[in-house]
């Protein structure tokens, strides 16, 4: 097995530090198919359920929650946030979509079928990624801490610190829960980490460098961000901010098809 040096950011003693360690290659993946993605979509959250892809987009004055047409990558339906709100993570639970905002401390809810706005909630700190294990909402805020929240009140149920080889791992962005594990984009990188949601331990690093071909990278394309899980196939849907492509990928060692997940 090929071993190489991997450099990762950690939050140690209250400050970000770069740690380089010798590590075996992360799990391999295979691209199953490529689909168009809206290059105007600053992707902050992805959710796939029952053949429907939902997306939260960011930037002030451009933030939306969308139902995406997989054939075109464009929004089949969309609801815009107020111009002073910066959209972030997205989760679906019990027929309700939950959308975070970055620094406003406000979460919005929508009917998943119609995208009709339902309610709003407040929370402390920044909003980054959001997912659900079927019982709690799981939220990242840029630190190494993940918060498990009551979906009805957003009250804190518990917290877990994400650690890689014992060191706290910060910059956790978009989240996805699949088959008892948490997946997270590591902001400003091509890495996705797989996390044990009980202990917070990093189980795997998945290197998606090279997923978007160099020819598709322009001055406007930004970082990898966006993970959705298709329970029917066992595959992940991944993209990036302002990317032209949404990728369906199969992780090595993960069986295809429906599995017991404890999901939505």
Q: What is the pLDDT of residue 130?
A: 97
Local confidence band at 11 (pLDDT 50, 70, 90 cut-offs)? very low
Instruction: Tell me what the mean pLDDT of segment 9-25 comes to.
Output: 42
Q: What is the pLDDT of residue 182?
A: 96
CB-count burial class (<10 Å; 0-12, 13-18, 19+) for 201? middle
Q: pLDDT for 30-74, tens place per residue? A: 899 999 999 999 999 999 998 999 999 999 999 999 999 999 999
Alpha-carbon gap, residue 233 to 214, rounded angstroms: 28
Given a cut of 60, whether residue 14 has pLDDT beyond it is no
| Residue ranges of domains in the chain | 43-221
The residues, ordered by sequence, that sit 6+ positions from 53 with a Cβ below 8 Å of its Cβ are: 46, 47, 67, 68, 70, 228, 237, 246
CATH match for 43-221 among 2.60.40.10, 2.130.10.10, 3.30.70.20, 1.10.10.60: 2.130.10.10
Question: Which is more confidently placed, 30 or 259?
Answer: 30
Q: Which of 1-10, 46-55, 158-167 has the lowest mean pLDDT?
A: 1-10
Q: What is the pLDDT of residue 247?
A: 95
Beta-bridge mates of residue 55? 46, 66
Q: What is the pLDDT of residue 25?
A: 58
Q: What is the pLDDT of residue 255?
A: 65
Q: pLDDT for 100-146, tens place per residue? A: 999 999 999 999 999 999 999 899 899 999 999 999 999 999 999 99
Alpha-carbon gap, residue 51 to 77, rounded angstroms: 15
Of all residues in the chain, the percent with pLDDT exceeding 70 is 86
Given a cut of 60, whether residue 92 has pLDDT beyond it is yes
If DSSP codes are grouped into helix, strand and coil, which group holds residue 216? helix
Q: pLDDT for 205-214, tens place per residue? A: 999 988 988 8
Question: Which is more confidently placed, 72 or 153?
Answer: 72
Q: What is the pLDDT of residue 9?
A: 46
Q: What is the pLDDT of residue 254?
A: 73
- State the average pLDDT for the chain: 86
Local confidence band at 262 (pLDDT 50, 70, 90 cut-offs)? very low
Given a cut of 70, whether residue 13 has pLDDT beyond it is no
Q: What is the pLDDT of residue 133?
A: 95
Q: E strand or H helix at 18, and its extent?
A: strand 15-24
Question: Which is more confidently placed, 146 or 154?
Answer: 146
| Cβ pair 46, 227 in contact under 8 A | yes
Q: What is the pTM of this model?
A: 0.86
Given a cut of 70, whether residue 1 has pLDDT beyond it is no
Q: What is the pLDDT of residue 218?
A: 81
């Amino acid at each position: 097995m090929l071993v190489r040096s991997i450099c990762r950011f950690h939050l140690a003693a209250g400050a970000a530090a770069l740690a380089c360690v010798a590590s075996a290659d992360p799990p391999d993946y295979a691209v199953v198919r490529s689909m168009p993605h809206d290059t105007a979509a600053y992707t902050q959250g992805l959710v796939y359920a029952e053949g429907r892809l939902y997306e939260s987009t960011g930037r002030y004055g451009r933030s939306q929650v969308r139902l995406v047409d997989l054939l075109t990558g464009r929004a089949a339906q969309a609801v815009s946030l107020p111009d002073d709100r910066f959209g972030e993570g997205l989760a679906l639970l019990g027929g309700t979509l939950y959308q975070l905002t970055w620094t406003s401390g406000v979460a919005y809810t929508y009917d998943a079928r119609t995208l009709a706005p339902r309610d709003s909630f407040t929370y402390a700190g920044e909003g980054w990624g959001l997912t659900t294990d079927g019982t709690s909402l799981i939220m990242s805020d840029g630190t190494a801490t993940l918060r498990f929240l009551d979906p009805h009140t957003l009250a804190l149920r518990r917290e877990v610190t994400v650690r890689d080889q014992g060191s706290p791992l910060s910059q956790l962005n978009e989240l996805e829960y699949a088959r008892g594990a948490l997946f997270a984009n590591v902001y400003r990188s091509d890495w996705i980490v797989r996390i044990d949601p009980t202990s917070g331990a990093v189980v795997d690093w998945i290197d998606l460098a090279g997923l978007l071909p160099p020819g598709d990278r322009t001055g406007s394309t930004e970082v990898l961000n966006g993970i959705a899980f298709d329970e029917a196939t066992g595959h992940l849907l991944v993209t990036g901010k302002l990317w032209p492509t949404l990728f369906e990928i199969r992780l090595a060692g993960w069986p295809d098809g429906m599995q017991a997940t404890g999901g939505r």
